[in-house]
Structure formats: C-alpha cells, structure tokens
Chain A
Amino acid sequence: MSSNKLEEYLVEKGLFLTAIFSIIIILIIIAFIFREGFPIFQEYGVLNFIFGMNWAPSDEQYGVFTMIVGSLCITGLSLLMAVPLSILCAIFMAEIAPKTFRKILKPTIETLAGIPSVVYGFFGLIVLVPLVRVQFGGTGFSMLTASIILTIMILPTIISVSEDALRSVPHEYKEASLALGATQWQTIKNVIFPAAIPGVITAIILGMGRAVGETLAVIMVAGNVTQIPNSILDPVRALTSNIALEMGYATGVHYNALFGTAIVLFIMIMVLLVIANYFHYKKKVVIGGGYL
C-alpha cells in the first residue's frame, strides 16, 4: 500500500513540476531581460529611451519610438488584411465547403503554417519587393511589403483556430435557427458567428502575437529605416528587427539598449494581450448563455 501511495505522490509531484516548468522558464527569461536591459533606463532615462526619435548607437543615441510605431503599424496593417480574409475563409471551410474540398483546403493551409519564416522573407525579397516597387513606387522595402508577408504568415493561424471555434458551436443552435426559417447566411451571420466570437478573438490574438514577434521575414523586406513612416510605402524598422540586426555587434550600453528594446517589446505584447483578452471576455458576457 505504502509503495502505491509513494508512486501516487511521485507522479503527482512530477506532473506538477512539468506543469510549472514553463512558468519557471518564462520567469527566468523575464528576469534575465530586465537585468540586462535595466541599465539603459538608468543611464539614458526611461522617457528618452521610449520616446526618443533617434537610434544611432555609434553616436550614443538610443530612442526606440520610431520602432514602436513601426511594429504597431506593420502589425495593425497585416491584421487589417488578414482578419477579414481568414474569418471568411474559416466560415467557408466550417459551414459551406463540401467535404472533399475541405479535405484539400485544410492541409494546404496547414502547409502554409509550416513554411519557415526565412523562406517567406526570401520570397518577399525576391518577388514582393520588386512588385511593390514597380506597382506603387518607392524602394519596395516598405511597411506594406512587410505587412503583406505577415498577412500570409498569420493567415493559417487565424483560419484554423477560428474554424475550430466555428465548428464547436453546438449543432442545436444551427438546427434551431434553420428550423425557424432562417437562411444559411442568416444562420451564419446571426447565430454561428456571434457564438464563435470568443474563439475567433483568440485566433486573432494568436495571429497578432506571431505578427508582432516575427523577425527574420520582416528584416528582409521592411527596409529597417528608423523613421516614422509617412505612408505605407515608407520603410520602417520593427522592434524585433532592431534586436536581431545589431545583437551580433553590441557591447556595453548598446547591448543594454537592445535588451531595453526587448523590454519595450515585452511590455507592448503584454498590453496588446490584455486589451485582446478584455474583448474576449466582454464578448462572452454580451452573448450570455450563447458562448462556448
């Protein structure tokens, strides 16, 4: 008996350990980033760092505001393109597409998610950049180009998660709606989609996370100029790109400044997540008993 109890105890604690492992890792990473990045705030000033317009490490200027704007603009623009596209695609796959068509579509979209980001970046550099240059002018390295690449990259995430959400709406809802004489479009618009909204928002959060964090593909097509963009055809630098571009060379204050960039990025993602979660829960309440 006692050996059984011991086994029980060990298994329980073992599972607990594995469960908190990810939390521990996150805490360690946060502690490390803050320890390495904190000196820049002391030395350069928090406000100077966050709202500084100039980034020129060789002249000891470390302002990341242009990059905060860059990251937000790229992410916003790509969500603007990706969300409608992917939600419509998800609705099609979940409600309308015939079974055989869906069987082709789903693996295709999943393949899209499996392509490494460097391949997307290279595709962007070789195909999209010249295309944008010829069609819209400018150098081709632009916010728009980066957003298009990001759109393609986050499509599969948003599509598959929202499709799951749409599919897990209880059948009774759909049947009741159709039985009341609603058309299929009315059912989708007024019953299924509203019921799936919390899941769809989760999908958008995941997509947004990927867009904010994407580094390599963005470096290759965004032009990496530290400026506030005047139009969507201007080159911009994202926070992630800044870290990846210069980490190889950075020493001393410059090194701290790059970790400072990581702190800003971290806080930015936290804020975006909190906002997104707020909507997630708010929507749940609005629909009342109707959510999943």
Chain B
Amino acid sequence: MDTKIIIGIIVAVIVIAGAVMVLGGSGSQKSTIEIVGSTSVQPVAEKLAEEYTKTHPNVKINVQGGGSSVGITSAQQGTADIGTSSKELKDNESTGLTQYIIGNDGIVIAVNSKNKVNDLTTDQIKDIFSGKITNWKEVGGADAEINVVTREDGSGTRKAFEEVVMGKETKIKSDAVVQSSTEAVKTTVAGDENAIGYISLANLDNTVKALKVDGVAPSEATVADGSYKIQRPFIFLVKGNASGAVKEFIDWVLSAEGQEIVKSEGVVPVK
C-alpha cells in the first residue's frame, strides 16, 4: 500500500510539473518589462503598470525600488528595461541613456498647522536647514527653537532638496532628526509645533501646512509653470533607444491616458 501511495504521489508531481511547464511555456510569449529605481517614482510606476497591463494582458511589468542611483546604473547596465530617477541626471550619468520625463513633483516645505509662519525665502530655508537660523522668531514666528526634520542619506527627496535648496557647498545640519519616510516626516511635523520638514507634493494633505516659497504656494499649477522652484522631474531612463514593448509602454505613459494616471497619483503631468 505504502509503495502505491508513493508512486501515486510521484506520478501526480510529474503531471503537475509537466502541466506547469507547458502552461508556463505558452505564458513566456508575454513580454516582461523590468522597471527599477527611485522609490519616489515607484508608486506612480506601479499604478501605471497596473493600468497598462489591464488593457495589454500580454505584457508583464515588474516594478522595483532601490533609489535613483540604482535606477541609473541598472538602465546603463541593461539589467532593467527602464530605470527610474527622481533627480536630474549629471552629464556623466546620462551617457547612452534616453530620458523620458513622465512628470514633475514639487517638494513641499511643511510645518505644523499651528505655526504662524506662512512664507519663507529659499535662503531662509537654506539657513534653517543648515543650522544658521535656529529660532522661529528670526523668520517671523514664535520664540521657539526650530526642530529640523530631514530624510535619510540616499533618499531621492533629500537629494532633490539638497540640489535645489542647499546647493553644492551647504549641508543639512548634522543634528537634524532623520526620519525614514515621507509619512514619518509628516507625522513628526503634524505632532510638533516647532518642526519643519520637506515632503513630496504628492503626499501633501491637511495634517501639515505647506509654506509658500519666495511667495509662491506649491500646487500642481505652480509646479507645472515652473514658478514654484523646489521641484524635481520623474524620469524614465532607457538604454539607447526604446523599442518594442518598452517603447509602446512609454508612449502610452506619455499619452493623454497615461498622463491622467500620473496626475491621479499627485504628480504634475508634463503635457
């Protein structure tokens, strides 16, 4: 009896394995697109992939994080079909890559809703984050110490913030509290009257107050026309020229339909 059961199991396993191979074989005609890179672009890319595969069932899209630098290297090395970046590429980084800007994201300077300050200049923000200005009364607020909240080294939001606001020479002060995600920064700022932090426009909600920068409030419109300065592009990177399924996908992302989805994720469309 025992041997019969064992033989039965073996036969069943072989049948199942065979069936999987046959079905898997027919499934392999699907083309797969690997998207790797910026964790900021990831939610948008995932949403785009989800919508695209609904209408194009023969395409499979895998979206992975890793950060902008990982996106750039994977695109260059060809390990990913599309690399994503949430910062502008340096000259030496962009060699051999075709860039498709799929949208722009504003970086919002967020403070607690009880904070009296509404407007800061880029220089003031720079001084606050570098530690030159340490009290809110120096920028027209209450007499209280400023609690600076930043993101971890490597974060795309942090890199974009550093590039646009801090410039090359100035550094974010080393005793600023580091939080590991946009949500954590938001919760911190929402809970602390004297905190200041930066988050992506896509994640802005009414738990925190967005400051005007140089008199311009962050919004889709001001990011789109460039009057709100602290912004960054979301870029798809392809090695050489896009072709086949990858090109079809990117064309669709840049089409009205794709841009509508980009917009629904809180990112400012390019068209």
A interface with B by C-beta (< 8 Å): 56-58, 125-126, 129-130, 133, 139-141, 219-220, 223-227, 235, 237, 244-246, 248-251, 254
Beta-carbon contact of B191 and A130 below 8 Å: yes
The 8 closest A-B pairs by CB, nearest first: A249-B154, A249-B67, A224-B178, A223-B177, A245-B152, A139-B147, A141-B177, A130-B191
Query: Of B94-102, B179-187, B226-234, B242-250, which binds chain A?
Result: B179-187
Complex CA gap A218/B162 in Å reads 26
Supply 23 A–B pairs (Cβ within 8 Å), ascending by A: A57-B154, A125-B184, A130-B192, A133-B192, A139-B195, A140-B191, A141-B188, A224-B152, A224-B177, A225-B177, A226-B174, A227-B175, A235-B175, A244-B180, A246-B152, A248-B65, A249-B70, A249-B152, A249-B154, A250-B154, A251-B69, A251-B70, A251-B73
The proximity string for B residues 144-157 relative to A, scoring 1 for CB distances below 8 Å and 0 otherwise, is 00010000111100
Report B-chain residues with C-beta under 8 Å of the C-beta of A237: 178
Across the interface, do B154 and A246 meet the contact criterion of CB distance under 8 Å?
Answer: yes
B103 to chain A, nearest CB (A): 21
- Closest CB in chain A relative to B245 CB, distance in Å: 27
Contact call A235/B154, Cβ cutoff below 8 A: no
- B176 and A249 contact, CB distance less than 8 A: no
- Measured in the bound complex, the distance between the Cα atoms of B147 and A229 in whole Å is 17
Given A58-B153, A248-B154, A249-B154: A219 and B191 interface contact (C-beta under 8 Å): no
Interface centre among B154, B179, B187 (most CB of A within 10 A): B154
Q: What are the residues of chain A within 8 A of B39 when measuring CB–CB?
A: 248
B43 at the interface (CB under 8 A from A): no
- What is the size, in residues, of chain B's interface with A at 8 Å between Cβ atoms? 25
Contact of A235 (CB < 8 Å), options: B66, B69, B177, B191:
B177
- Tell whether, in the assembled complex, residue B174 and residue A249 are in contact, meaning their CB atoms are under 8 Å apart: no
> A57 to chain B: which residues have CB within 8 Å?
153-154
- Cβ of B187 and Cβ of A249 under 8 Å apart? no
Q: With A246-B152, A246-B153 given, is the CB distance from A125 to B177 under 8 Å? A: no
Which chain A residues border B179 with CB–CB below 8 Å?
224
CB distance from A243 to the nearest CB of B (A): 11
Contact with A along B183-224 (1 / 0, CB 8 A): 010011001100100000000000000000000000000000
- The distance from the CB of B128 to the nearest CB of chain A, in whole angstroms, is 14
Q: Which residue of B lies closest to A130 (CB)?
A: B191
What separation, in Å, do the CA atoms of A254 and B73 have in the docked complex? Answer: 15
With both beta carbons as reference points, the residue of chain A lying nearest to B147 in the complex is identified as A139
User: Nearest CB to that of B69 among chain A residues?
Assistant: A251
Nearest chain B CB to A246 CB, angstrom units? 5
User: Which secondary structure dominates where chain B touches chain A?
Assistant: mixed
**Which of A139, A224, A225 interacts with B192 by CB under 8 Å?**
A139
Chain B residue contacts of A244, Cβ below 8 A: 180
Which residue of chain A lies nearest to B38 when distances are taken between CB atoms in the complex? Answer: A249
Least Cβ–Cβ distance between A214 and chain B, in angstroms: 15
How far is the CB of B85 from the nearest CB of chain A, in Å?
12
B188: chain A residues at CB < 8 Å are 125, 129, 141
Assembly CA distance A55 to B8 (angstroms): 60
- Enumerate chain B residues within 8 angstroms of A248, measured Cβ to Cβ: 39, 65-67, 154
Closest Cβ–Cβ distance, residue B238 to chain A (whole Å): 20
Give Cα distance in the complex from A140 to B195, angstroms: 11
Bound together, the chains give a CA A58 to CA B176 distance in angstroms of 16
| In the complex, residue of chain B having the shortest beta-carbon distance to the beta carbon of A220 | B184
Assembled-state Cα–Cα distance A33/B236 (Å): 33
Distance in angstroms between the alpha carbons of A83 and B176 in the assembled complex: 32
A225 touches B176 (CB 8 A): yes
Contacts of B70 in A (CB 8 A): 249, 251
**Contact among B65, B152, B154, B187 with A125 in the assembled complex (CB-CB below 8 Å):** B187
User: From residue 133 to 164 of chain B, which have CB atoms closer than 8 A to chain A?
Assistant: 147, 152-155
**Given A245-B152, A249-B66, A251-B69: A129 touches B191 (CB 8 Å cut-off):** yes
Q: How far is the CB of A218 from chain B (nearest CB, A)?
A: 11
With a cutoff of 8 Å between Cβ atoms, the chain B residues found around residue A246 in the complex are 152-154
How far is it, in angstroms, between the C-alpha of A220 and the C-alpha of B69 when the chains are bound? 25
* Docked CA distance A156–B175 (Å): 34
Q: Given A125-B191, A235-B175, A245-B178, list of 6 further CB < 8 A pairs?
A: A125-B184, A125-B188, A141-B177, A219-B180, A223-B178, A248-B66
Q: Are B66 and A225 in contact (CB under 8 A)?
A: no
Contacts of B174 in A (CB 8 A): 225-227
Most A CB atoms within 10 A — which of B39, B177, B184? B177
CA distance A161 to B248 in the complex (A): 61
Expressed in whole angstroms, the minimum distance between the Cβ of A250 and any Cβ of chain B is: 7
Shortest CB-to-CB span from B207 to chain A, Å, is: 12
C-alpha gap A58/B195 in the complex (Å): 25
Report the minimum CB–CB distance from B31 to chain A (whole Å): 28
Closest chain-B Cβ to A260's Cβ sits at a distance in Å of 16
Contact flag A140-B192 (CB < 8 Å), given A224-B180, A246-B152: yes
